[in-house]
Amino acid sequence: MLNDVTFGQYYPAKSFVHNMDPRAKIVLIIAFIVAIFLARNFFGLAAVFLVLVFLVLLSRVPFGRVLRSIKMILFVIVFTAILNLFFYSGESAYEPLVDWWIFTITYESVVNMVFLALRLFLLVMGTSILTLTTTPVALTDGIESLLTPLKWIRFPVHELALIMSIALRFIPTLTDETNRIIAAQKARGANFETGGLIRRAKAMLPVLIPLLVSAFRRAEDLGDAMDARCYSGAKGRTKYKKLRFTWRDLLGVLFFAALITGIVFLNMYLGTKFDIIAQIASLF
């Protein structure tokens, strides 16, 4: 039931992306998100999509494995798109396509719905590449290194990175635990596949209670294990692997700088998503 959860799961492979510095990958994924929200037309999103496909090929992660990250939030994407379709408040230069009761569907609302759905799709796909190509330990070290300047104001950087690492590690563990509990409930005659939304929600109650108990038990065991190993936070702690910025990271920075620059030029010369489609429509 929850086998499609890819966030927090690492896909082992030997690739250009896997060998990059985790700090560089975190910065570049932020640049990727900036590029998505800088794009004001479909040509900009198309450029981001081509970069995404190139990254998937470069990482040697199966494209289907990356697409699985969409399944868990597909409902959120569709629901958000529908809300924008019916309640987009932008001014329309055309007659409404549908005008019924409190719902008004315009040409601009349809374009905005498709544009927003594509943005969310690219956002989820891009962030899933980060977790699929970076181990939780490397990701934690990268976050801690990037947040090092905050130690000057006595911000608990190491503790924050540790919490994020534990959270990422627990995602696949709790997913497997949930699947085992669901299989056990099905063996006892529970039905999770049929019925309405309320009935399915009630059927999940026998799953949530043992899952919470298991999560607290695992957290307590982890705390006892850390105490037994005399864990005392970042004080006097050293790193087994030193993070180093290499030529791969430099190429990545230059590549994403070119991407953002290209999107800015596309915005300047092609206009917004409404302008481009209006120009195409005028040709017919």
Contacts (Cβ under 8 Å, ≥6 apart) of 279: none
**Dihedral sign for Cα atoms in the order 222, 228, 232, 238:** negative
Do the Cβ atoms of 13 and 179 come closer than 8 Å?
Answer: no
Identity of residue 138: A
Identity of residue 21: D
Do the Cβ atoms of 16 and 142 come closer than 8 Å?
Answer: no
Q: How many CA atoms lie within 13 A of 175 on its CB side?
A: 16
Q: What three-state secondary structure class fits 98?
A: strand
pLDDT tens across the length of the chain (284 residues):
445 555 557 888 888 999 999 999 999 999 999 999 998 888 889 999 999 999 999 999 888 888 887 777 777 788 887 877 776 665 555 566 666 666 667 777 777 788 888 888 899 888 888 888 988 888 888 888 888 888 888 888 888 888 877 877 777 788 788 888 888 887 877 776 766 667 777 777 778 888 888 888 888 888 888 888 877 766 666 667 778 888 999 999 999 999 999 998 888 887 666 565 555 455 44
In whole angstroms, give the CA distance from residue 279 to residue 224. 65
In the block, residue with structure tokens 């230059």? 254
In whole angstroms, give the CA distance from residue 75 to residue 77. 5
What does the pLDDT read at residue 284?
A: 41
Q: Which of 22, 12, 8, 11 lies closest to 170 in space, CA to CA?
A: 8
Contacts (Cβ under 8 Å, ≥6 apart) of 73: 120, 124
In whole angstroms, give the CA distance from residue 118 to residue 126. 12
What does the pLDDT read at residue 269?
A: 80
In the block, residue with structure tokens 């990059």? 20
What does the pLDDT read at residue 5?
A: 54
SS in 3 state form for 64-87? HHHHHHHHCCHHHHHHHHHHHHHH
pTM: 0.78
Domain spans of the chain, in order of start: 1-134+246-284, 155-241
